[in-house]
Structure formats: C-alpha cells, structure tokens
Amino acid sequence: MGPQGAVQQPTRTEPVLPALSPGQVVGLEGPTGLGLTRLGLSLLAAPSRVGMVVALDVRGWLSPASAWEVGVIPDRLVLIRCDDRKLWPQVAAAVLEGVAAVYAEVPSGVGEQQLRRLAALNRARRAALMLRPLRGDLPSGIAHLRLRSTGVSWEGVDGGHGRLTRRRISLEISGKSIPLQEMEFEDAFQLTPHVSRFTSHA
C-alpha cells in the first residue's frame, strides 16, 4: 500500500533468484533491519498468483501491507502468529502440506533436525519455503539458496527533509552448486510499478 493506500505492483525479484523452484528452500540470514523481511515477502508474490501463501510470524510484527506492496495478492496471504518454539515445527509442517509457499521466521531454539524434516517435507510437497532465522544462521545443507544481508543504505531523507525512497541491500549469495558471490539488491519505492533489481558487485 502506498502513501494513499494504493497497492503497488509486484517487484521483479523472482527471475533473478535461480533456485526458487518448487520444493527448494531459501535461507534469509542477517540481523533485523538489513532488509530481509521485505525481500523474503517479495518471494511470496509469484506463488500467490497460483495458490495460498503463508507468512509465519514469530514476533507478531509482520506487516501484510509491506507484502501487498511487493506484489503478494492480499486475498491469498495468510499470516500465522506463533511464538511458541515447540509448536512452531508442527505449524510450519501443517501449512506446508497445503499452501504454495511459506515465508517463515524461525524462532531461536528450533532444532536442526526439525528444520531438516521441514525441508524434506517441502521437497515432497514441492512448495516454496523461505526460512528467516531470527537469531544466528541456518544449519548448513538445508537451504538451496542462502541470502545473507551484510548492510543496507537508504536514500531520500536528508536532514529532516524528504522521505525514504530507495534502498540498497548488500547481499552475499551462496547455495548448493552456487559459489559465494556478493550482490546488491536495490529497491526503488518512489516508482510505480515498484522496481527491484540485483546488481553484481563484480
């Protein structure tokens, strides 16, 4: 939703992420504030065009408005709030059984085995699973594609004037058969449609 409430158009995030095919897991690693939530939600946009998608919210902070802005269809998005780390694996597994994609914040304390089981279930169900650990990184071998945010810079504000209009997220991308590479992900918010693009640092 933009400043006047209009839902903006989808981002073009999906084509640049080679591993985002059904059954694969994307890991989003890095501290809160460095831009991974909106990026993760944008990965729900394409699956929401074919079925229901779920955002699993551990802190109760996720904003659906942000998901709508990056192209997730409002009627197809369900937010599930679960701050109980014991119930979290059950809930994540239950929703993976039926929806097209899940963006899941991972609370601290969820075991490696539980995450591996979830990844296996995701493979079997051929859904898309984005895991966003709130503390630390994912155990190795779970994510097919790992996006680690190392920094974010913002444009548009200047000494009390303007508003946030553009951000650049520095990302390290690696994964199964993908060598580590640094990339920059850019979001431009003043444009309609809302435009995102990856730029190689090389």
- Alpha-carbon distances of 192 from 1, 6, 7, 11, rounded to whole Å: 11, 10, 10, 10
Residues 65 and 69: their CA atoms lie apart, in Å, by 6
Query: Binding to other proteins (CB under 8 A): which residues in 115-174?
Result: 151-152, 154, 156-164, 167
Interface pick for other proteins out of 18, 21, 59, 135 (rule CB under 8 A): 59
What string marks each residue from 2 to 41 as x (binds other proteins by CB under 8 A) or -?
Answer: xxxxxxx----------------------xxxxxxxx--x
Q: Let me know: does 67 contact 61? Beta carbons within 8 Å.
A: no
| Region near other proteins per CB under 8 A, out of 18-26, 69-77, 133-141, 171-179 | 69-77
Residues 69 and 7: their CA atoms lie apart, in Å, by 5
- Number of residues located near other proteins, criterion CB under 8 A: 64
- Under DSSP, the state recorded for 124 is H
Residue 29 or 69 with smaller CB distance to other proteins:
69
Backbone angles phi, psi at 77, to 5 degrees: -100, 130
Does 99 engage in binding with other proteins (CB under 8 A)? yes
Does 62 engage in binding with other proteins (CB under 8 A)? yes
Neighbours of 184 (CB within 10 A): 15
Residue 153 or 176 with smaller CB distance to other proteins:
153
Residues 198 and 38: their CA atoms lie apart, in Å, by 14
Neighbours of 100 (CB within 10 A): 20
| Region near other proteins per CB under 8 A, out of 14-22, 92-100, 111-119, 177-185 | 92-100
| Region near other proteins per CB under 8 A, out of 45-53, 108-116, 134-142, 176-184 | 45-53
Does 98 engage in binding with other proteins (CB under 8 A)? yes
